[in-house]
Chain A
Amino acid sequence: MSDTVTKNEPPRHVASTAAMLTPTQRMLREAWSKPSFKFGFFTFTVLLLGALIYPEISSIDPTKMNIKARHTPPLFVGDWSWAHPLGTDHLGRDLLVRCLVGLRYSVLIGCATVVMMFIVGCGLGLLSGFKGKFTDTIIMRITDAQLSIPMIILAIAILGVSRPTVPAIILVLGLSGWPLYARVARSVTLSEKSKEYIKGQRVLGASDWRIIFLFVAPAVLPPIAFVAVLDVARMMIFESILGFLGLGVQPPTPTFGNIIADGRKYLINAWWIATMPGLFLLFTLTSLNLMGSALEGARNNVLKGAA
């Protein structure tokens, strides 16, 4: 491939055999061109930065109680104050800082869970598809069994009987979602396995592991990518459900589920306590879902050869 070819972008309707970009990179570039992706990306970044930076620079402690200032309404409502832009809860704790700290936990747990599902699921799927026969059957049966246990039951059985910790929550949530990754990885592996270039590698004497990691694994990435992004959103909702039921991270650590559960009692008198975390969740999840949908559209276009 000469330099001139790479410098000139191939026309978009032409199949990309001439391009040097991997499918993943093409998918990402395609997604970036969509306005919905850009919007989602920026919103998410702003929220994440806010969650990481604001509680550090603000002098307000999310668990500091100030009974005299409780039930302060948010900006422009009732007798609000700049000290508490989103208002305070029933014990006088600032809602903005609490929501941002809650966002940290949500994103942390959401991402960690997806990473875990990704590694475990894809690993098992790759193994299953590549080795075939006995390994395949066993892993697929385990997948079926896992799919038969609804996440909520698992969460209840594990977290409901002992005190929930962050690693336990990640484990429970991760256990519920890995089968999908395994299945996708397996089907991609199966289809790649029979391709010519793999057979070529075998002839050259490449070991199984080398083939898996260098060739098959990258092919798994595009179909999984958008699933992973959407799953972060899904895991964040699950985490807040667990928190709402009292099975999540325990108080006084703020999480969206906790705050909404507490705020439910005061919905008539101090509606902002339950509403603000809901809005934060709404924005974060919408941005993630927009990104995920854009990625999915991009991947479809890549597959169709349009990019």
Chain B
Amino acid sequence: MDGSASAHARKARRLYLLIFLSRRLLQGAVVLLIVTFAIFTLLRVVPGDPARLIVGGMAPDEVVVQKAEELGLNDPIPVQFLKYLGEIARGDLGNSFVRAKSGSMGGAVAFDDPSRGDRAEVLDLIVERVPLTLQLAGLAVVFALIISFPLGVAAGLNPGSWKDKLAFFAGSVFVSVPNFWLGIVLALLFSVQLGILPSIGYKGFEYTILPAFVLAIEMAPFIIRTLSVSIAQVMQEEFISVAPLRGLMRSRIVGAHAIRNASIPLLNLFGIQLGSLLGGVLVIEFIFDYPGLGRLTINAVLQRDFPLIQGIAIFISGMFVFINIAVDLAASFIDPRLEY
């Protein structure tokens, strides 16, 4: 292949990537719009009066009506939605009903109490918590890989052996254990009885270890399975069985070829599993009182803090769309044969 042809190939590939990216981003934007509208409408048609929640418990009814008018809650839903979109475009996701600017929870004051106007901005609250959740998720992935790799690779290399059966058994048990139950039991065991790991709140990196471990147990079975299946498949393919003739050591064969090819399904798996992972993060953060996005969400629900619920839902859906695009992109980099 001479220079001009490969340069041409590179240019074609770059153009192709651009088209791919812009098409997916556009699709993602449409999807996000649908999602935002769905959540927005949901929170307005279900029982519960947002105006009442803003003005608080002690307000007379005329004040509630007045506030509703002020907030534009009596406009038709499409109109409200467009206004909301406008606010989002400006980066304003609204203000929490419950939390004050300092981050503490307010409540139980009169309706015309000045502190009511001083509630925290939803975007600030979210952005504050995201790094901690990312830290938790990242550590969990690391743990999950550490647990799954030995089991999955051994199973894939020796299908039908006791290693395979062990991996299958471990996977089945891990997937059948309710994560919140495991979290509670481990918190009791490691924190109270044995005292080696902290389990409440966050005052340093070691507070992430126990929650990440519980999450890792939840992720592990899928990784084990995917790894063992795809490694077994790849090992059967011809080019692998040919390779020993080239005098390569078996480990190099496994490392270089098999795992790299098996990582595509893993990446896809990650994209698919994201939904239930998120549910896991929510519950685990709640149990361990870990101050991340998950616990913020649960508290928002328990306190009926609508703007916060809405903001988080939109934020997370946006992240989902983004991650799915990124996963597809990464997969196409790893294996140029894949077409989108």
A–B: direct contact at CB < 8 Å: yes
CB-contact partner of A286 in B176, B192, B306, under 8 A: B176
- A103-151, CB < 8 A from B: 141-142, 144-145, 147-151
A262 to chain B, nearest CB (A): 12
Given the complex of chains A and B, what is the CA–CA distance between A260 and B183 in angstroms? Answer: 12
A100 contacts the other chain (CB 8 A): no
A157 contacts the other chain (CB 8 A): yes
| SS class, residues of chain B in contact with chain A | helix
Contact in complex: A156, B297 (CB < 8 Å): yes
- How many residue pairs link A and B with beta carbons under 8 A? The number is 136
A210 to chain B, nearest CB (A): 34
Residues of B within 8 A of A245 (CB): 282-283, 286, 298, 301
Of the candidate stretches A2-10, A215-223, A277-285, the one touching chain B is A277-285
CB-contact partner of A281 in B46, B181, B302, B324, under 8 A: B181
| SS class, residues of chain A in contact with chain B | helix
B329 contacts the other chain (CB 8 A): no
Contact in complex: B39, A157 (CB < 8 Å): yes
Residues of A within 8 A of B100 (CB): none
B244 contacts the other chain (CB 8 A): no
Contact in complex: B27, A240 (CB < 8 Å): no
CB-contact partner of A156 in B48, B185, B276, B301, under 8 A: B301
Given the complex of chains A and B, what is the CA–CA distance between A35 and B215 in angstroms? Answer: 31
Given the complex of chains A and B, what is the CA–CA distance between A246 and B282 in angstroms? Answer: 13
A143 to chain B, nearest CB (A): 10
- A212-253, CB < 8 A from B: 233-234, 237-238, 240-241, 244-247
Which residue of B has the minimal Cβ distance to A142?
B34
Which residue of A has the minimal Cβ distance to B192?
A268
Contact in complex: A260, B180 (CB < 8 Å): yes
Given the complex of chains A and B, what is the CA–CA distance between A153 and B302 in angstroms? Answer: 13
CB-contact partner of A241 in B48, B180, B188, under 8 A: B180
Residues of B within 8 A of A286 (CB): 172-173, 176
Given the complex of chains A and B, what is the CA–CA distance between A49 and B107 in angstroms? Answer: 49
Residues of B within 8 A of A247 (CB): 301
CB-contact partner of A141 in B30, B306, B324, under 8 A: B30
Residues of A within 8 A of B47 (CB): 161-162
Which residue of A has the minimal Cβ distance to B187?
A267
**Which residue among A156, A275, A289 has the maximum number of chain B CB atoms within 10 Å of its CB?**
A156
Contact in complex: B301, A274 (CB < 8 Å): no
Contact in complex: A158, B42 (CB < 8 Å): yes
CB-contact partner of B278 in A150, A244, A267, A274, under 8 A: A150
**CB<8 Å pairs between A and B, sample of 15:** A149-B320, A153-B39, A153-B278, A156-B301, A160-B302, A161-B47, A162-B47, A245-B283, A256-B178, A260-B184, A264-B184, A281-B178, A281-B181, A282-B178, A286-B176
Give residues in B with beta carbon < 8 Å to A. Answer: 27, 30-32, 34-35, 38-39, 42-43, 46-48, 168, 172-173, 175-181, 184-185, 188, 192, 274-276, 278-279, 282-283, 286, 297-298, 301-302, 304, 306, 309, 312-313, 316-317, 320-321, 324
**Closest CB pairs A-B (n = 5):** A285-B176, A160-B301, A278-B181, A152-B279, A286-B176
Give residues in A with beta carbon < 8 Å to B. Answer: 141-142, 144-145, 147-153, 156-158, 160-162, 176, 233-234, 237-238, 240-241, 244-247, 256, 260, 264, 267-268, 274-275, 277-278, 281-282, 285-286, 289-290, 293
Given contacts A157-B43, A158-B42, A245-B301, 14 further A-B contacts (CB under 8 A): A145-B35, A148-B31, A149-B320, A150-B316, A151-B279, A152-B282, A237-B178, A241-B279, A244-B283, A256-B178, A267-B185, A274-B184, A278-B181, A281-B176
